[in-house]
Amino acid sequence: MPDKPLKQLANLLREESETVDLHKRLVSQHLLTKIRWKKYVAIHGRLHQAWDDYEEEKLTTTDLLRIISHINALGPSMAVHHMLDADEF
C-alpha cells in the first residue's frame, strides 16, 4: 500500500495538467477575466442585497452572517433566502 499516495498524487497531477491548456486559452482570449468579473459582480450584488435586507430588518444578524458565509463559500447557509440560488452554489 505504500504506492497508493503516489498513485493519488499522479492522478491529481494528471487531472490538473488536463486543465492547463484550457486555462491558457481562456487567459489568452481574455475570457477568464470576463468570467471572473461576471462572478465578482454577481457576488457583490448578493452581498449588497443581503446588507439591504438586514438594514430593512428582514434578516437577523445571524442570518446575515450565514448568507455572507455561504456567498463567500466559507460554509453552508442554514438561512433560507430569496437571493441564494442552489444551482449556482
Residue 23 has pLDDT above 80, yes or no: no
pLDDT (average), residues 35-49? 87
Query: How many structural domains are present in the chain?
Result: 1
What pLDDT does 2 receive?
Answer: 60
DSSP string, 34-46: HHHHHHHHHHHHH
d(CA 34, CA 51): 26
pLDDT digits (tens, 9 = 90+) for 48-59: 999 999 999 999
pLDDT (average), residues 11-34? 78
32: left (phi over 0), alpha (psi -120 to 50) or beta: alpha
For residue 41, what is its C-alpha cell?
459582480
The helix (run of H) or strand (run of E) holding residue 82 is: none
pTM over 0.75: no
Residue 3 has pLDDT above 80, yes or no: no
The position carrying cell 477568464 is: 32
Structural domain boundaries enclosing 50: 4-88
What pLDDT does 5 receive?
Answer: 76
pLDDT (average), residues 78-87? 50
